[in-house]
Amino acid sequence: MPRNLRFEVPPGGVVLRGQDHYWSVILSLHQRGEAWTTGEIADRCAAPVNRGDICDFVGRLVAGGFAAADEGGEGRYRLLRTQLATPCLRRDGKPGEQGRIRTAMWNVLRGPLGRQGVTAQDLAFYASTESLTVKHLTARTYITHLSRAGLLRCIRPRKPGVPALWRARAGLGPLPPVILRGEIVFDQNTGRAVGPVEASEVQS
């Protein structure tokens, strides 16, 4: 069952919980050549943290071939694959569609089209591929959150029959911002939150 865990995040504050933080902790331990446990991840999170959420994330990494149980046992794991962005995986280890859609939209926004200006319809169209469909509502919602966080600028306001045109701010990092419940925008590139001060984290 989904769990709704509320926590306070000041604008610009570092988010020390959630899958992005779990992944950063795992990468840090891996870079030291260390095996790790779910307890060690929990110790590096802002309290309160639900250990079940960490176990769920580690289970997804194992199912997806990113991690495996360490030969030393005692509930320790080691990474098999690394990447900068947090793996977005279903419980069976297959890539999650939400993460793929977010990445596709962000790549468009950071690319030449995004620098020139795009509408929500443009974003949905250019982010879609043969194997991935981005709905207009999804693109419009993502634009709304990013614009409120100051990552996009409106260069043509919406008028009757004419959609708004949006341009990405210069200097944005390659990792797509994550929208946490409560509509806070989390920048994976800086590890900081931009948006409302209260958010909720839901694991599915």
pLDDT digits (tens, 9 = 90+) for 49-89: 778 889 999 999 999 999 999 987 788 999 999 988 888 89
- Phi, psi values for residue 155, rounded to 5°: -105, -5
Cα separation of 64 and 94, whole Å? 6
Cα separation of 76 and 54, whole Å? 13
Q: How far is CA 36 from CA 25, 41, 52, 121, 128, in A?
A: 10, 8, 16, 44, 38
Average pLDDT over residues 28-42: 90
Report the Cα–Cα distance between both ends of the chain, in Å, rounded: 7
* Contact indicator for 175, 102 with CB cutoff of 8 Å: no
Q: How many CB atoms lie within 10 A of CB 125?
A: 14
pLDDT tens sequence across 82-128: 988 888 898 999 888 888 899 999 999 999 988 899 999 999 999 99
pLDDT at 124: 97
Residues in the chain, total: 204
Cα separation of 89 and 31, whole Å? 22
In the chain, what are the domains?
A: 15-95 (1.10.10), 97-199 (1.10.10)
* Contact indicator for 142, 179 with CB cutoff of 8 Å: yes
**Side-chain half-sphere of 19: how many Cα atoms within 13 Å?**
21
User: Measured at the alpha carbon of residue 96, what is the angle toward residues 195 and 39, in degrees to the nearest 5?
Assistant: 75
Cα separation of 161 and 158, whole Å? 8
Lowest mean pLDDT among 15-19, 77-81, 95-99, 174-178: 15-19
- The mean pLDDT value of the chain amounts to 82
Q: How many CB atoms lie within 10 A of CB 174?
A: 12
Q: Which helix (H) or strand (E) holds 67?
A: strand 67-69
Cα separation of 3 and 201, whole Å? 8
pLDDT at 98: 84
